[in-house]
Amino acid sequence: MKIEHLALQVADPKAMAAWYVVQLGMSIERSNDDPVAFFLADESGQIMLEIYLQTDFEVPNYASMEPAHLHLAFLSDDIEADYQRLLAAGATSVSPVETVGGGDQVAMLRDPWGLPVQLVTRAEPMLR
């Protein structure tokens, strides 16, 4: 089996989708108005993120969650430049770029809605 998407209930899916398209290179593959939902594909076109709002359910407080509990990780070819660009676009820093075990570089931010976003440059690729 293959993962198709991860779904997240968010307060403002339209604005969040637009930010992820511009800032993280995602593309909108499908959207609808009831409930408001966007399916965003990463640049590989192999993994999607669904961001939606169903008013019958509470929106989780992502800003209060420990990033180790939940975060979206994006591969970066230039982690320092991407980190600075996302900060300029409204993200907030959780931890700056650092090199961790095995030589990977990582940085943790929160998008403008509080969702933890990790940037990573792998010393050795993990995916085929």
State how far the Cα of 69 lies from the Cα of 106, in Å rounded to an integer. 16
Residues 30, 88 within the same domain: no
pTM of the full structure: 0.94
18 domain-assigned: yes
**82 in the same domain as 127:** yes
Whether residue 35 is predicted with pLDDT greater than 90 in this model: the reply is: no
- Mean pLDDT throughout 122-126? 93
Q: Are residues 108 and 126 in the same domain?
A: yes
Other residues' Cβ atoms within 10 Å of the Cβ of residue 14: 14
Q: Domain range holding 71? A: 65-128
Q: Do the Cβ atoms of 5 and 49 come closer than 8 Å?
A: yes
Asked if 10 and 44 sit in the same domain, the reply is yes
Number of separate domains in the chain? 2
Same structural domain, 43 and 6: yes
**Residues constituting the chain:** 128
Residue 1's pLDDT is what?
94
Q: Are residues 51 and 69 in the same domain?
A: no
% of the chain with per-residue pLDDT over 90: 94
Q: Report residue 128's pLDDT band, with 50, 70 and 90 as the boundaries.
A: confident
pLDDT confidence band for 103 (50 / 70 / 90): very high
Question: Is 49 within a domain?
Answer: yes
Q: Assess whether 24 and 45 both reside in one domain.
A: yes
Q: Are 33 and 55 in contact (CB under 8 A)?
A: no
pLDDT bin (cut points 50, 70, 90) of residue 75 is very high
Alpha-carbon span 110 to 21, nearest angstrom? 16
51 in the same domain as 72: no
Predicted local distance difference test score (pLDDT) of residue 127: 81
Q: Taking 80 as the threshold, does the pLDDT of residue 99 lie above it?
A: yes
Q: Are residues 33 and 76 in the same domain?
A: no
Q: What rounded mean pLDDT belongs to the chain?
A: 96
Looking at the structure, do residues 83 and 123 belong to the same domain, yes or no?
yes
Under the banding of pLDDT at 50, 70 and 90, the label for residue 93 is very high
**CATH code for the domain in which residue 3 is found:** 3.10.180.10
Q: Confirm whether 79 is domain-assigned.
A: yes
CA distances from 8 to 66, 82, 83 (A): 16, 23, 23
For residue 41, give the H/E element and its range.
strand 36-41
